[in-house]
Structure 1
Amino acid sequence: MKFVLKSISKNSGRLGQLRIKESNELATPLLMQTTKGGSIPYLTADTFEMVSNEQQLLQLTLSTMDQMAESLAQWNRPLSEYVGLPGHNTMLLLRDPCEATPAGGNDRDVVPLFTRRGKESLTATQYMDMVAKFAPDVYQGLCDADTNPESTKKRVQKSVDRTERFMDECYALHAKEQRLANSTLLAPIVGGYNTFARTQSIKHARAQPATSYGGYILEGFHTNGLAATALQATQLLPIVEHCLQQLEDDKPRLMPGAFTPLLTLELIRRGVDVFDTSYAYCAAVNYKALTFNYTKGAEQQTAFLDLTDEAIKEQFTPMLNGCSCLACRKHTRAYIHHLYKTHELLGPILLMIHNLHHYLGFFAVIRSSIADDELSQLIDLLRLQTAGVNMDYRIEANSKVVSKAGLGKGFIAAAAV
């Protein structure tokens, strides 16, 4: 993997080109496509082509795909072909950014892996053995990232010390494993919200030979899922800025998690390069269509359209006026609300199509805003969407869900709260 920094601005962040394979170049800031079990949630490969036909970086997670390791050991073609999305690049992470990761289970020599079958414990050797079977284009090093804004100093220090031991093994095994000869390792930076601990983690990574890893993944700020949408910028941004000032410019920086659009812009302004679509998924699974405005001159919008709202049952207009996605061109708010009420699988499919289309368009505007040195104006636009009032982009869990029986199958009926 090679990262080329094209431009950098104090007020607008970085523009770059990420070359994972020789013939593929991805523009940064980059939005990875979050997957579950190797598939983009609710969408087939053919359906996703209706959202975007551009080259993508697929974010795969070991917590949703670990059961595939044995069959992948016999697979001698690219991982993207195995998951039915040939031609795309792949990045393997340990945890699913869409779902809350339970706390605990860490020990001196193991990291917990929470799968559909329950908790498993991985040593660094076991982890690298599984990664070698997947043979992704890019993967993260093993780390103890079980920290959040409430973590104690002792818990934070343990996460750093354990991560150093895990990574010493990962660096050594990466150099020896033939199946990982064409894979790039990302060095994890942990340490919770403690600047001293973060500096210790960075120093350990930078003490390695420059060729032993190809970039950084900043972990340990949240417990994934909706927790990432509730992070306080005043608490997170100083820690991230402290870390980025100590990292070299010619390596990409990745931060997984469902950060709000406004917080994402602030992270980009400080120099983070790669994010994922877990925010779009978390909105969709809670029956919210993304409707915030990121285009100058367009009409003011709210952050979301709540598809469980009875007020839209007779609104025969698109989810978002002017949106060119398949869902908005072909269907109305009233129809998608009807799909929600009748538990139809088409409902979340259309909602996911819209949310991914909207978020991909948002990142295209981000890159053009950086090129024009206008990221600050975009931040102001998102902050003050409606009559000069600060917009709230947090995603709240849908309180109208009766049961979880239909999750993953279609919309669930609403009941009076």
Structure 2
Amino acid sequence: MKFAVLPSPSSSNNSERIGEITFEEYPDKKFSTPTYIVQTRKGSVPCITCDHFDELIGNLFAGSNESVILNMNYWDLMENPSLEILTKYLEKNPTKTLKNYLHLEKYPFFQSIRNVEFPYPTSNANEKGIYADLEKGRSKFTDAEFCNHTFNMFKPDIFIGIHDTNIKCKVNDSFGTSKQLKRAKTSTEKWGETCIKKRQELVDKQQTGIPEMIYSVFYESEEMTSLIPEVFQNNTDNIKGINFDIGHMDDLEKIVKIKESLKNQKCDLEKLVFFISGKDHPLEVLECVSRGVDIFDGIYPFTIAEMGMASMYPLELPNDNPEKVKMTINLRDRNFEKDFTPLESTCTCFTCRNHTRGYIHHLLNTHEMLGDILLTM
């Protein structure tokens, strides 16, 4: 993976930037930033089959070599496919990968450790490892086990190193005691270093298809900043980006402070891609872009579709009060019962080209699955 910041039009905010990510495995495709990585649930894009998703992406970037990156949650892979099933599949098909198992070979995989479907993390951590509440019960995974799964089984194109997500859960307007924060800082740096060293071992062995790493940081105060270990600060062969852990990002100005700290550590910010998880509302995304964030994930497109809504926010927002702009329309509303216009007249997606607001209103109110599918697309 390579990331390059591209020249951009003059802006009032120097933090905003556009860039391009390239992968050796996908030489004929480019991935422009800022970009949204598409959320998956247990290996599939919600409401859309693999074939329909291919068609949707093809229509979205018609005549272009642009594509998208898929987000895969680490905990999902523990249960579907289970580790046992995936192990058997890989033993029988040594040349195949998780992508082949899921029939999603056309897209790069981005493996994250936070499940963005929930407002707070489901994982807990201490010095011994990180815990997850799975369907089969609570399971513990050490940093060594995480590296084994990531490098030997899942083999994503990009992954976020294991880090402490638990203390960043906001409870009673607090983000944890200083003792919890120190433990989190120590654990995150220890686990991050384990991931870096394991990856370097594979590089030294000249293995191919090694996942690229994004290092996770958080910021509480000048003394409580968890950043890249000094020995790896300028090693962009091992660390390709920075993850701002959203569970701790109550104030987006912390992004700016973290970047300033990285600059003080003499890290080359032009070579690092910046990722934030869970900030997926259009206005939140714009705020993050203004602070130089390159990659986002989230479930906003799927959540509003499951609520029977279509995303209709304007590209030009009023300066006086952008929060008052109507971002969605509710297709369950009876006002759309006899509305035979498309959702958006200028949109060229399958839904807008072939179906009307009235038809989608009918599907939603008769509880037809097709309504969710069309709105998601």
The bucket for the TM-score relative to the shorter chain is 0.7 to 0.9
Query: 1-side partners of 2:289 and 2:193: how far apart?
Result: 30
Partner secondary structure for residue 114 of structure 2? coil
Decide whether aligned partners of structure 1 residues 322 and 126 sit closer, same or farther in structure 2, where only a CA change above 3 A counts. Answer: same
Q: Which moved more, 1:211-220 or 1:103-112?
A: 103-112
Alignment counterpart, residue 217 of structure 2, candidates 189, 194, 201: 189
CA-atom RMSD, angstroms?
Answer: 2.8
Q: Equivalent residue for 1:169?
A: 194
Whether the 8 Å CA contact 1:187–1:205 is kept in 2: the answer is: no
Contact 1:106 1:144 in 2 (8 A): yes
CA apart distance, 1:158? 2.6
Instruction: Tell me which of 54, 60, 82 is aligned to 2:72.
Output: 60
Kindly indicate whether residue 133 of structure 2 is the aligned counterpart of residue 126 of structure 1. Answer: no
Task: State the distance in 1 between where 2:223 and 2:244 align.
Answer: 13
Aligned residue pairs total 338
Extract unaligned runs of 5+ from structure 2.
59-65, 263-268, 319-323
- Using a 3 Å threshold, how does the CA distance of structure 1 residues 329 and 97 change in structure 2: closer, same or farther? same
Aligned to 1:39, which of 31, 40, 44? Answer: 44
Q: How far 1:125 moved relative to its partner?
A: 0.9
Give, in angstroms, the shift of residue 279 of structure 1: 1.9
Distance apart, 1:123 and its partner CA: 0.7
- Range that drifts further, 29-38 or 288-297: 288-297
Partner secondary structure for residue 254 of structure 1? strand
Check 1:104–1:255 CA distance in 2 against 1; reply closer, same or farther (3 A cut).
closer
Q: Is the contact between residue 189 and residue 216 of structure 1 (CA under 8 Å) also seen in structure 2?
A: yes
Instruction: Decide whether the 8 Å contact of 2:120 with 2:169 is kept in 1.
Output: no
CA contact (8 A) 2:131 2:140 kept: yes
Shift in CA distance, 19/295, structure 1 to aligned 2, threshold 3 Å: same
Larger mean Cα displacement after TM superposition, 195-204 or 76-85: 195-204
Which of 6, 10, 13 does residue 11 from structure 1 map onto? Answer: 13
Distance 1:283 1:206, change over 3 A: farther
Relative to 1, partners in 2 of residues 1:198 and 1:305: Cα closer, same or farther, differing over 3 Å?
farther
CA 1:205/1:92 → structure 2, altered by over 3 Å: closer, same or farther?
A: farther
Q: 1:269 aligns with which of 290, 293, 311?
A: 290
- 2:340/2:358 contact within 8 Å kept: yes
Q: 1:320 to 1:184 in 2, by over 3 A?
A: same
Give the deviation of 1:49 after TM superposition: 2.6
Quick one: distance in 2 between partners of 1:142 and 1:349?
Answer: 34
Normalising by structure 1, we get a TM-score of 0.73
The aligned residue for residue 63 of structure 2 is none
Q: 2: distance between equivalents of 1:237 and 1:42? A: 32
Aligned to 1:115: 134
Distance 1:220 1:173 in 2: 26
Partners of 1:347 and 1:175 lie apart in 2 by 48
Residues 220 and 328 (structure 1 numbering): CA distance in 2 closer, same or farther, change over 3 Å? closer
Q: Is the 8 A contact 1:144 1:190 kept in 2?
A: no
Cα deviation digits, residues 203-226 of structure 1 (max 9, x gap) = 56854744322211111436xxxx
Larger displacement relative to structure 2 (99-108 or 168-177): 99-108
**CA drift at 1:346:** 0.6
1:198-347 equivalences under 5 Å are 199-202=225-228, 207=233, 209-221=235-247, 236-247=251-262, 248-294=269-315, 302-347=326-371
How far did 1:10 drift?
A: 5.4
User: Conserved in 2, the CA contact under 8 Å of 1:144 and 1:163?
Assistant: yes
Q: Give SS of 1:111's match.
A: strand
Q: Is the 8 A contact 2:121 2:169 kept in 1?
A: no
SS of residue paired to 1:4 = strand
The two structures have a TM-score, normalised by structure 2, of 0.80
Q: 1:311 to 1:156 in 2, by over 3 A?
A: farther
Change (3 A) 1:208 1:143: farther
Rate the CA distance shift 1:290–1:205 in 2: closer, same or farther, 3 A: farther
* 1:348 to 2:376 alignment: no
8 Å CA contact retained: 2:37, 2:295 = yes
Q: Kindly tell me: are residues 125 and 351 of structure 1, through their superposed partners in 2, closer, same or farther at Cα, counting changes over 3 Å?
A: same
Q: Which residue of 1 aligns with 2:184?
A: 159
Measure, in 2, the Cα distance between the counterparts of 1:16 and 1:316: 40
Give distance in 1, aligned partners of 2:233 and 2:184.
18
For 1:267 and 1:220, the matched residues in 2 are separated by: 11
**2:225 alignment partner, SS class:** helix
Tell whether the 8 Å contact from 1:140 to 1:185 is kept in structure 2 after alignment: yes
Q: Does 1:87 align with 2:106?
A: yes
Paired position in structure 1 for 2:56: 51
| Cα distance, 1:255 vs structure 2 | 0.9
8 Å contact from structure 2 (residues 70, 107) kept in 1: yes
Distance 2:279 2:255 in 1: 16
Q: Which has the higher contact order (CA 8 A, sep 6+)?
A: 1
Q: 1:31 to 1:108 in 2, by over 3 A?
A: same
Tell me which amino acid in the other structure corresponds to 2:19: G
Percent pairwise identity: 24
Mapped to 2, the partners of 1:159 and 1:144 lie a distance apart of 6
* Pair 1:89–1:293, CA change in 2 (3 A): same
Q: Which amino acid aligns with 1:237?
A: L
Distance 1:35 1:334, change over 3 A: same
Cα 1:31/1:79, change in 2 over 3 Å: same
